Structure 1
Amino acid sequence: MGILEALRAASTADPQFQQLRDNIRSDPLAYSQYEFHNGLLLLRNRIMVPAETALRSLLLQEFHNSVVGGHAGVTRTFHRLAANFYWSGMRKDVRRFVADCQVCQRMKSDSLTPAGLLQPLPIPAQVFEDISLDFIVGLPKSNGKEAILVVVDRLTKYGHFFSLPRHFDSAAVAHILVHGVIKLHGIPRSIVSDRDRLFLSELWTELARLQGTELCFSSAYHPQSDGQTEALNRCLEMYLRCMTGDDPSKWEQYLAWAEYWYNTSFQSSAGMTPFRALYGRDPPTILTYLEGSSRNTQLAQQLLERDELLRVLKTNLQRAQQRMKLQADKHRRELILSEGSWAFVRLQPYRQVSLRLQKHQKLGPRYFGPYRVLQRIGPVAYKLDLPASTRIHPVFHISQLKPCHGQPQQQITPLPLLREDVTSPSTTVDLEDKVHLPGRGTVMDGPFVSAPKNVTADDSNATTSPGNEEPRRSSREKRAPKNLTNFVRF
């Protein structure tokens, strides 16, 4: 039975339509906007749909899910449907149907302000008690180094910069921390870092456990939790870019001066330079020697001034945090998910390493899931019930989640598949943000889901998955002419 035949049958059987038909016959002038045509009741030339749930749902599916409807939004779907049909509360039903559409929830990007109000990290009590660290990678080779480890004290903003080779592991980073940070400032109470595979390795975790250090990882795919180090990275890159000029391969010899420049530069949030915040004085300069002068008698006064400086520093940081939170929350919205509810997750790979080329990302889904919310961790972080084969951290910032409306489908959108042979966290890793292949553009990957154990690097079917049907071909390594080594990057 077609939809028009179903409408005729439902109109004949509906008691309200029968009463309306009798009123039209008894007083045509009062009901001049209504008319009967071929067994259908029309209102201003639009077919009236009786209170039949199946018929209204069928029309909503036809005008929204079909190739003509195109999964449009509420306004477009309503106007397309209202051009030929009418029932009381149509716009409300369209709004509910579009909101519950699983395809729209997975495939469409949000146009709303980011979810989750700003949650500043607590201000540390002592210097170098809480530190944050990150890596700057993808730099041109300079004295055999291609990366920089950035370590920042969260209280004084004092920073240390260390050059690293391109390939390094957690043991090398731990060695640098011991000889470059811990020996000077002691063992930190907590470390804020992004969720790089380097910090998830067993060696680094064991080192932190032996030291009694609590690893405060930021939420998965939300690097803004480590925004302090990210901002410092931009300043450091700017300094090296300006100092090296046309010879970027000499950046390593400017790294020590970059550290001095940063630590002696005024910080608006602290209200002073990191050097003064740490040592209680400005950096020494070349002064004229005065015979007989001594500062030993002023030691007590210096200690009092040091305590007062720390108090002023914490006050300035609190004011800066309040000011930043006030401005940031103007462009954010509060969103709370209840435990046991369902939510879609948005994956934006950050600091992830592999060589898998995900094809057709332009038309790929914007969200995956939905997955059940297991626990609320903090004001803006949630733990999801991800599949057992998932290799990403199950805790996400609220801005990466979208509540699922309607009844979740039984078939959950799987996470992207990743080969097992390129994601072992216990081996030496290459912390490249992006991999550039000639003629293939930029490859962005993330260790999402492990592949079956029987998949090997020599398996010709290892890369076959939705959107990755063609195996990657090997190609020769292209090298730039020696006279252009500092200017050409492949």
Structure 2
Amino acid sequence: MPLWVEFDWLRQAVLNDPVLQQVIRRVGPANEPMGPYTVVNGNLIHKGRLVLPKGSNLVQKILGECHTTPSGGHSGGLRTLKRVAGNFYWVGMKADVLKMVAECDICQRQKYQATKPSGLLQPLPIPELVWEDVSLDFIVGLPKSRGFDVIMVVVDRLSKYSHFILHKHPFNAKGVAENFIKEIVRLHGVPRQPPVLTNFVLGETKVAAVGLELSDRDEVLRHLKYNLQRAQNSMTKYANGRRKNMKFQVGDLVGSMAYKLQIPKGSKIHHVFHVSLIKWAVGAGHALQEIPRGLDADFIMGFEPHKVLSTRIKRMGTNDKLEVLISWKDKATEEATWEDAKEREAQFPHFTLEDKANLKGEGIVRVLEDHPKPNVKFVYTRRHKNPV
């Protein structure tokens, strides 16, 4: 029969506790129940649960067993309290359990907060002039047309006038800059330094048509700014209704929604974080961890393709996508991964997939001649239906 080896120590701790000793004396040698308390086999019981001294080391062991072990599973405060209260009781048990769960370092690091995200919406300022501030984005993954499969979209943030510029994949910063100068700067000047548009003054020109055009232009700009401001106010009100404003007293504030943090020396990550990525650390038992592997050195891609082992056609909706099984240089064959053929060809232009792959067969998965075929043990066959 299993025995709890700490029973003797627990009895001695109860006897040394003045509050519990007073309860035992009230129960008396006749073992008459005093409210919820009774004495069973020399142990003080509270409603069928073993009573522990409040400040004993056994309380911390039980809290750890019911919360941090695999059976505890780092459950929430109420679930951990229910697990503890099933067998044990001490004065202030609920407060101790909730405090321990709130200060758990693993829970704070790994669990998300089921609350509104931090950080209010910060809309960009409305430009004063056309082509003073532009946005740029790319539409990729298009079917090729005359060799082009990418569209660069440049939009003036004030007038919403747009340019759609053709590109070929892969493209680099030099090609984007050349097309930007050719199609945007040539027509509208350099952003942040656009042609100056002075406000029209009545009587400035003697040509009535020119005066009317300039007056209409100024009126259009006023309407644009007014409507953009209304849209920003509406979006800000709607977005901030689902967010909360979080302020931290310690640390340097960068802008209005970012903070500069003290991070371990030697790390290669930026030390400024948005307020939505920061939360208060409860308790004082937070040990600084070592820098994760990969963040203590320069970010250099350590993967280089070595050989194509196989190919396959993967159905993505109504389209077929070619994937290749690539073994990487200085990596084991077991670490070979399936990669998109077009993406790898764009990322490693000097590694020609067609030259590396000696394919045979016309099936969905093509196997290389020098690659051993898998040992097939079981083959699925459809069961024939009995004729009616």
Shorter-chain-normalised TM-score: which range? 0.5 to 0.7
Does 2:55 match 1:42?
A: no
Runs of 4+ in 1 over 6 A off after TM superposition: 26-30, 439-442
Aligned equivalents of 2:249, 2:19: Cα separation in 1: 41
Q: Per the alignment, in what secondary structure is the counterpart of residue 168 of structure 1?
A: coil
In structure 2, what is the equivalent of residue 458 of structure 1? 329
Q: How big is the shift at 1:20?
A: 2.1
Seen in structure 2, the aligned counterparts of structure 1 residues 335 and 420 have a Cα distance that, compared at 3 Å, is closer
SS at match of 1:403: coil
- Does residue 7 of the first structure (1) align with residue 10 of the second (2)? yes
Query: In the alignment, which residue of structure 1 is the partner of 2:161?
Result: 158
Q: How many residues are treated as equivalent by the alignment? A: 311
For residue 247 of structure 2, the aligned residue among 332, 336, 343 is 336
Shift of 1:79: 0.8
Partner of 2:288: 410
Q: TM-score, structure 2 length as denominator?
A: 0.68
* Matches of 1:116 and 1:477, distance apart in 2: 40
Q: Tell me which amino acid in the other structure corresponds to 1:312.
A: H
Unaligned 5+ runs, structure 1: 190-210, 212-277, 279-294, 341-374, 425-436, 443-456, 462-468, 480-487
Preserved contact between residue 105 and residue 404 of structure 1 (Cα < 8 Å): yes
Change over 3 Å in CA distance of 1:178–1:86 after alignment to 2: same
1:65: how far off?
A: 0.6
Describe the shift of the 1:92–1:416 C-alpha distance in structure 2 as closer, same or farther (beyond 3 A).
Answer: farther
Pair 1:297–1:62, CA change in 2 (3 A) = same
Is the partner of 1:16 in helix, strand or coil?
helix
Out of 111, 121, 126, the position equivalent to 1:123 is 126
Q: Distance in 2 between matches of 1:83 and 1:17?
A: 20
Q: Give the match for residue 422 of structure 1.
A: 301
Query: Greater CA deviation, 396-405 or 37-46?
Result: 396-405
Which ranges of structure 2 fall in alignment gaps of 5 or more residues?
198-205, 304-310, 317-327, 343-352, 354-363, 365-388
Shift of 1:74: 1.2
Matched, 1:94 2:60: no
For residue 335 of structure 2, what is the aligned residue in structure 1?
A: 471
Q: 2: CA distance between counterparts of 1:30 and 1:38?
A: 14
Q: Write 1 or 2 for the structure with the bigger share of helix.
A: 1
Please say if 1:56 is aligned against 2:80.
no
The 1:145/1:408 distance shift into structure 2, 3 A limit, reads farther
Q: Is the alpha carbon distance of 1:301 and 1:99 closer, same or farther for their aligned partners in structure 2, counting shifts above 3 Å?
A: same
Deviation at 1:146, TM superposition (A): 2.8
**Offset, 1:182:** 2.0
Provide the identity percentage.
40
Contact 2:14 2:52 in 1 (8 A): yes
Distance 1:476 1:170, change over 3 A: closer
Offset of 1:93 from its aligned partner?
2.2
Structure 2 residue 77 is matched with structure 1 residue 69: no
Cα 1:93–1:416 shift into 2, 3 Å: farther
**Aligned equivalent of 1:382, options 246, 259, 274:** 259
The answer as to 2:238 corresponding to 1:327 is yes
Structure label with greater radius of gyration: 2
**1:139 partner letter:** L
Equivalence map 1:109-148=2 (5 Å): 109-148=112-151
Amino acid at match of 2:225: K
- Letter paired with 1:319: R
- CA gap of 1:388–1:307, structure 2 versus 1, over 3 A, is farther
CA RMSD of aligned residues (A): 3.8
Alignment of 1:244-255 (within 5 A): none
1:389–1:100 Cα change, 3 Å: same
Deviation at 1:4, TM superposition (A): 4.0
Matched ranges for 1:211-290 at <5 A = none
Find the aligned partners of 2:7 and 2:158 in 1 and give their Cα distance.
71
Q: What does residue 344 of structure 1 align with? A: none
Q: Deviations over 1:89-120 (max 9, x none)?
A: 32332222222222223333333222212111
Shift of 1:440: 10
Give the TM-score taking structure 1 as reference length. Answer: 0.55
